[in-house]
């Protein structure tokens, strides 16, 4: 019986060591947006697609907008305002011609995602972020949060979308 206890203790210790950030290569320090305290959510790349966009002009990028379960449910039910707990993630990439696709088409017409530009988040918490319409904002480039000055421009930019709970993106079924 004593051997079983020692074995279980050693197995648990080994499991903890193998799952530790140092062993797996994961960072033990998570980056947090400066004024809203938002982290990039684990597993967000597996969330469902809300819409896609091509932004011309200064940004000139391709975008995928993803949502957690609360966001998707609100979109599908056309329920505004979005409930607390909603998280909307916007991924942006520069876009580049696809030489491989263009060879098939016989002309330049295909573009694909190129290098990533950034990740932006909107997190709904009507009490915590009451001063900004109930939304917290974050932007990360190469995993590093944007500075406070940039984040202070987020809410003013979203004011024109007040009738849609400050969210620009429409659901693409």
Pick the more confident residue, 20 or 167. Answer: 167
Residue 30 — very low, low, confident or very high, per pLDDT cuts 50/70/90? low
Q: How long a stretch of residues is the chain?
A: 173
pLDDT (tens digit, 9 = 90+) per residue, 32-51?
A: 988 999 999 999 999 999 99
Pick the more confident residue, 161 or 16. Answer: 161
Distance CA 34, CA 121 (A): 13
- Cβ(135)–Cβ(123) below 8 Å: yes
pLDDT given for residue 80 in this prediction: 98
Residue 9 — very low, low, confident or very high, per pLDDT cuts 50/70/90? very low
Q: Describe the strand order of the beta sheet including 111-124 as a list of residue ranges.
A: 48-55, 61-67, 87-97, 111-124, 135-141, 144-145
What CATH number matches the domain at 31-164, 3.30.230.10, 2.60.120.890, 3.10.20.600, 3.50.70.20?
3.50.70.20
pLDDT (tens digit, 9 = 90+) per residue, 98-133?
A: 999 999 999 999 999 999 999 999 999 999 999 999
Say yes or no to pLDDT of 61 above 90. yes
pLDDT given for residue 6 in this prediction: 35
- Identify the weakest region by mean pLDDT among 5-19, 95-109, 126-140: 5-19
- Cβ(136)–Cβ(38) below 8 Å: yes
Q: What is the pTM of this model?
A: 0.80
Query: How many Å separate Cα 6 from the centre of its chain?
Result: 44
Average pLDDT score over the chain: 86
Please state, for a pLDDT cut of 70, what percent of the chain lies above it: 83
Domain ranges of the chain: 1-26, 31-164
Say yes or no to pLDDT of 173 above 70. yes
Pick the more confident residue, 89 or 60. Answer: 89
Environment class of 81 (CB within 10 Å of its CB; exposed 0-12, middle 13-18, buried 19+): middle
């Amino acid at each position: 019986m004593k051997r079983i206890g020692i074995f279980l203790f050693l197995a648990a210790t080994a499991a903890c060591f193998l799952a530790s950030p140092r062993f797996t290569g994961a960072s033990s320090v998570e980056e947090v947006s400066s004024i809203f305290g938002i982290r990039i959510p684990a597993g967000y790349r597996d969330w469902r697609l809300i819409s896609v966009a091509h932004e011309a002009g200064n940004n000139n990028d391709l975008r995928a907008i993803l949502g957690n379960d609360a966001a998707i449910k609100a979109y599908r039910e056309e329920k505004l305002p979005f409930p607390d707990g909603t998280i909307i993630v916007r991924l942006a990439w520069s876009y580049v011609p696809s030489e491989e696709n263009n060879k098939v088409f016989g002309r330049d017409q295909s573009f694909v995602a190129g290098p990533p530009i950034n990740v932006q988040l909107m997190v709904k918490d009507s009490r915590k972020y009451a001063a900004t319409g109930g939304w917290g904002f974050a932007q990360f480039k190469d995993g590093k949060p944007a500075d406070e000055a940039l984040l202070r421009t987020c809410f003013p930019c979203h004011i024109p979308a007040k009738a849609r709970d400050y969210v620009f993106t429409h659901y693409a079924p």
